[in-house]
Amino acid sequence: MLENYFLRPATVDRVRASWLAPQIEGYVEWMNAHGYRDGTVLRQVPVLCQFGDFAAQNGARAVASAVVHVGAFCLRRVTQFSPTKSPEIQQSRLKFFRGPIQQVLRLALEGHAKKVRRPKPFPFQAEASGFLSYLQEERGLRPRTISIYAHHLGWFDKYLKQVGVRAIGEIFPALVSSFLVDRAPVLGEETRRDFCAQLRVFLRFCYRERIIHENLSATIEMPQIYRLARLPRSITWDEVRRVLERVDRRTACGRRDYALLLMLVTYGFRAHEIAMLTLDDIDWKRERLYIPERKGGHSAAFPLTGVVAEALIAYLKNGRPNTSDRHLFFRTLAPRVPLTSGAISTGAGVYLERAGIKVHKPGAHTFRYTCVQRLIDAEFPLKTVGDYMGHRSPQTTEMYTKLEIAALREVAMGDGEAL
């Protein structure tokens, strides 16, 4: 594999003379399989050889014993290259040297090059061990929702330890109130409401299981949020065209993003619904697009429109990496892994910013709201709109009636206005 990158045999011989050569070659094969550019390989292999020499000079003869020398080597290289540079530049150089070394060592010791984030233990598992199964089995919550519970309860656990409370049974009403007062200012309105609701669920469970002797959930007052208080954050159809014009479809990334944006605004899909799409969900013969699992827990099928089909074909032919993974959309930079819902929503917000469109919380949902607005303007019944968007409740669709600005203005200017 080294011969594919280094044309001079002497260079390949120098790499293979290193005691770290087997690990370096394995790493090069991993980078090649994950779509890293040739220039990246050419830059990183010399750094790995230099690290091997440095570790050997300090007594390392095995991969496991070389781990302790990573920090010293990186610091030495940064000092040699940029001793008088700013702290930001030095941190960037540290990352440049440390990244490939950690990857090759992790690949040799653990069998994978990318750092795997180990899930944190669910808060209060020692005292309220049944709460996690309660959320999963009795309440039937999705993993994403359970992770939000874990995040918020983690803050509660941290606060209790800060004030010296070591057991759930020691919690009292004033302590809960002081925690909410301390935490609420950094949360948005909807997050604050959800946070209070989740804390009430937890305290109610603790009371049911006799972990605490008082139902403290009753002491938490839910923040009042009016469901129809805000306008949906949609944009006009002309603004949609401006966003699409900002996409450079000459590149693989542009072809992918153009197909993504078209699917968002045409079907009103959520970001996670697009992230889960696979090649098997596109029925080219019947011209259908399947969403196997929507937020409401049901599946749906949509007609594959001509403009979306053309964008998908352009991406599949000249944009999607050659991989055995069946996911539809992938990163264009290495490592070539499927796009996440967060990346899709962030990318949509970037194109809105490039088009100079100001909107509250720009992202994938902006195009979802725009899709609904288009259906409302076409005078589709609310029931039809709700079914198309996958709303579980008709009340969710009612919010979009506020988009009928012209009709509302006629009501306001009709009989009775003079009064």
pLDDT tens track for 121-172: 889 988 898 999 999 999 888 888 899 999 999 999 999 999 998 889 889 9
Find out whether 341 and 225 touch, Cβ atoms under 8 Å: no
Percent of the chain with pLDDT over 70: 89
**What is d(CA 375, CA 192) in angstroms, rounded to the nearest whole number?**
32
Q: What is the pLDDT of residue 230?
A: 59
Does the annotation count 365 as an active-site position?
A: yes
Within a domain: 229: no
Report, in angstroms and rounded to the nearest whole number, the Rg of the chain calculated over CA atoms.
28
Percent of the chain with pLDDT over 90: 39
**What is d(CA 265, CA 3) in angstroms, rounded to the nearest whole number?**
47
In this structure, are 80 and 196 located in the same domain? no
Sorting pLDDT into bands at 50, 70 and 90, what band is 294? confident
Within a domain: 402: yes
Does the annotation count 400 as an active-site position?
A: yes
Within a domain: 418: no
**What is d(CA 47, CA 36) in angstroms, rounded to the nearest whole number?**
16
pLDDT in tens, 332-360: 888 888 999 999 999 999 999 999 999 88
Mean pLDDT, the chain, as a whole number? 86
Q: Which domain holds residue 299?
A: 237-410
Within a domain: 103: yes
Long-range contacts of 93-99 (CB under 8 A, 24+ apart): 97/47, 97/73, 98/70, 98/71, 98/74
pLDDT in tens, 23-65: 999 999 988 888 888 888 898 999 999 999 999 998 888 888 8
Within a domain: 82: yes
Q: Which of 270, 294, 320, 374 is catalytic?
A: 270
Q: What is the CATH number of the domain that holds 195?
A: 1.10.150
In this structure, are 339 and 243 located in the same domain? yes
Within a domain: 228: no
Last residue of a domain, one of 185, 219, 253: 219
In this structure, are 6 and 81 located in the same domain? yes
In this structure, are 192 and 336 located in the same domain? no
Find out whether 1 and 12 touch, Cβ atoms under 8 Å: no
On whether the pTM is more than 0.75, the answer is no
Does the annotation count 295 as an active-site position?
A: yes
Which three-class secondary structure state does DSSP give residue 382?
Answer: helix
Does the annotation count 368 as an active-site position?
A: yes
State the DSSP H helix or E strand holding residue 110, giving kind and residue range, or none if neither. helix 87-110
Within a domain: 32: yes
Last residue of a domain, one of 219, 254, 274: 219
Kindly list the distances between the CA atom of residue 123 and the CA atoms of 147, 153, 177, in Å, as whole numbers in the listed order. Answer: 11, 6, 20
Q: Which of 249, 365, 369, 374 is catalytic?
A: 365
In this structure, are 245 and 206 located in the same domain? no
Q: Which of 295, 327, 331, 336 is catalytic?
A: 295
Task: Give yes or no for residue 411 having a pLDDT over 60.
Answer: no
Within a domain: 115: no
Half-sphere exposure of 339 (CA within 13 A, CB side): 26
Q: Which of 98, 192, 368, 374 is catalytic?
A: 368
φ, ψ dihedrals at 327, nearest 5°: -60, 150
Provide the number of structural domains found in the chain: 3
Sorting pLDDT into bands at 50, 70 and 90, what band is 418? very low
Q: What is the pLDDT of residue 359?
A: 87
Q: What is the pLDDT of residue 307?
A: 94
In this structure, are 11 and 98 located in the same domain? yes
